[in-house]
């Protein structure tokens, strides 16, 4: 579709965060459209590696209004189950999702925000940006990266261990992605797992449920003006999901410290020790995908957009949803995005009522 269209709210991104926002805007009777760059529903979950499972059971992984069904035979649902759930969710509520539509820029335009896309532009009274992080993989600036002749890939490009059978593989990263991908590769590659600091596993009986409870307790404390109870990071970095636990207990998940540089055929540590490698997999995280907001010039000196809750301080018609603790505790999780989505929708309804 081309041309200039109007709506009250444009939601940029049709993953779980965009859908949660749609749910609450609908409840408040606001008119909106969801513009999503993917051809199919499911956001980033469509691109997950084959063995990825949620770190919470289905009952702790639901968006507002519609519980995630159990997946037969799985305590922790897989990514395909999440995609099916999100697909059913947006169809059930008949959300006005347009895809594939990529938003190139959000601009101030008098009393409207103008949303430019690859299929026309929209004028809206408010915009919710819910574009996630998967689309902006982060790679650290390690010396020699360009010299390495083997294969280098980021978490977003990893699929399964088949392509690496028998190879010498270095997995970089001490978070959940690094631990899970290292566990995936541990049985049929010559694995070196490197982490910046010694890996910190959460206790085996703690999964996403407990993480959500900690984040909720923290939010309550902050809302009530009490002392910060600390975020989930205080518990550890890695959820010991079953494959990680099994591989660790089999003694196959031992981490080395971070190397200091790459060279033609491998990696080198500070003491001069070398390991040859056929592939390096960077499980080194993501950054919020915010290039479409550049025209608004909201980034401060440290590159951050200042927010109060989900609202941009310098552009109150813009809300940011689902990028992590930055826009609300646990807001990058399925169960955690509901509350900030509700708050954003309420603030927008109040703004439009003026």
Stretch that binds ligand FAD, among 25-33, 35-43, 62-70, 120-128 (CB under 6 A): 35-43
Give which of 170, 200, 195 is closest to 185, Cα–Cα: 170
Return d(Cα 80, Cα 87) in angstroms, integer.
11
Beta strand 97-98 with 112-117 is unpaired
Residues 59-88 vs ligand FAD: string with x where CB under 6 A? --x---------------------------
Return d(Cα 181, Cα 186) in angstroms, integer.
9
Nearer to ligand FAD, 292 or 339 (CB): 292
Q: Which of residues 3-22 bind ligand FAD (CB under 6 A)?
A: 12-18
- Residue 296 as a binder of ligand FAD (CB under 6 A): the answer is no
- Residue 333 as a binder of ligand FAD (CB under 6 A): the answer is yes
List of residues 6+ apart from 95 with CB closer than 8 A: 19, 22, 26, 34
Residue in 10, 36, 150, 338 binding ligand FAD, rule: CB under 6 A: 36
Number of Cβ atoms within 10 Å of the Cβ of 232: 21
Task: Confirm if 337 and 314 have CB atoms less than 8 A apart.
Answer: no
Number of Cβ atoms within 10 Å of the Cβ of 233: 10
Nearer to ligand FAD, 16 or 189 (CB): 16
> In 119-207, where does DSSP find H-type helix?
176-185
Stretch that binds ligand FAD, among 53-61, 66-74, 301-309, 342-350 (CB under 6 A): 53-61
Nearer to ligand FAD, 102 or 245 (CB): 102
Q: Which of residues 155-184 bind ligand FAD (CB under 6 A)?
A: 177
Residue in 126, 128, 289, 348 binding ligand FAD, rule: CB under 6 A: 289
* Neighbouring-strand partners of residue 266: 263, 276
Write down the number of H helices and E strands in the chain.
Answer: 6, 17
Tokens encoding 110:
């008098």
Residue in 277, 305, 332, 349 binding ligand FAD, rule: CB under 6 A: 332
Stretch that binds ligand FAD, among 54-62, 215-223, 230-238, 297-305 (CB under 6 A): 54-62
Q: How far is the CB of 60 from ligand FAD (least distance, A)?
A: 8
- Residue 328 as a binder of ligand FAD (CB under 6 A): the answer is no
Return d(Cα 257, Cα 270) in angstroms, integer.
10
* Neighbouring-strand partners of residue 126: 9
Q: Which of residues 130-149 bind ligand FAD (CB under 6 A)?
A: 130-132, 134-135
Nearer to ligand FAD, 186 or 293 (CB): 293
Number of Cβ atoms within 10 Å of the Cβ of 295: 15
Give which of 186, 188, 198, 190 is closest to 246, Cα–Cα: 186
Q: How far is the CB of 201 from ligand FAD (least distance, A)?
A: 16
Nearer to ligand FAD, 150 or 338 (CB): 338
Tokens encoding 198:
């010694």
Applying CB under 6 A, the residues found at the interface with ligand FAD are: 12-18, 35-38, 43-45, 54-56, 61, 102-103, 130-132, 134-135, 177, 208, 289, 292, 322, 332-334
């Amino acid at each position: 579709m081309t041309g200039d269209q109007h709506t009250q709210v444009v939601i940029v991104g049709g993953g779980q965060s965009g859908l949660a926002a749609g749910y609450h805007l609908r409840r408040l009777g606001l008119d909106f459209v969801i513009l999503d760059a993917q051809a199919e529903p499911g956001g980033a979950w469509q691109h997950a590696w084959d063995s990825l499972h949620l770190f919470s059971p289905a009952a702790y992984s639901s968006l507002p209004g519609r519980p995630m069904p159990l997946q037969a035979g799985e305590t922790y649902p897989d990514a395909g189950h999440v995609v099916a759930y999100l697909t059913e969710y947006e169809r059930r509520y008949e959300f006005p999702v347009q895809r594939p539509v990529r938003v190139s820029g959000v601009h101030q335009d008098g009393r409207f925000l103008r949303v430019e896309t690859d299929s026309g532009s929209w004028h809206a009274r408010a915009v919710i940006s819910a574009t996630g992080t998967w689309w902006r993989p982060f790679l650290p600036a390690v010396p020699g990266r360009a010299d390495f002749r083997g294969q280098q890939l980021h978490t977003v490009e990893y699929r399964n261990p088949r392509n690496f059978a028998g190879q010498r593989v270095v997995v970089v990263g001490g978070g959940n992605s690094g631990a899970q991908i290292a566990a995936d590769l541990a049985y049929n590659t010559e694995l070196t797992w490197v982490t910046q600091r010694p890996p910190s596993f959460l206790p085996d009986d703690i999964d996403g449920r407990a993480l959500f409870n900690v984040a909720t307790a923290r939010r309550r404390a902050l809302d009530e003006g009490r002392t910060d109870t600390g975020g989930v990071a205080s518990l550890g970095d890695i959820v010991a999901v079953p494959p990680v636990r099994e591989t660790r207990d089999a003694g196959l998940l031992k981490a080395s410290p971070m190397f200091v540089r790459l060279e033609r055929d491998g990696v080198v540590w500070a003491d001069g020790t070398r390991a040859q490698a056929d592939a390096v997999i960077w499980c080194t995280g993501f950054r919020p995908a915010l290039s479409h907001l550049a025209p608004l010039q909201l980034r401060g000196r440290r590159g951050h957009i200042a927010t109060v809750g989900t609202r941009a301080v310098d552009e109150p018609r813009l809300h940011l949803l689902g990028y992590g603790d930055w826009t609300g505790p646990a807001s990058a999780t399925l169960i955690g995005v509901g509350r900030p989505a509700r708050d954003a929708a309420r603030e927008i309804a109040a703004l439009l009522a003026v």
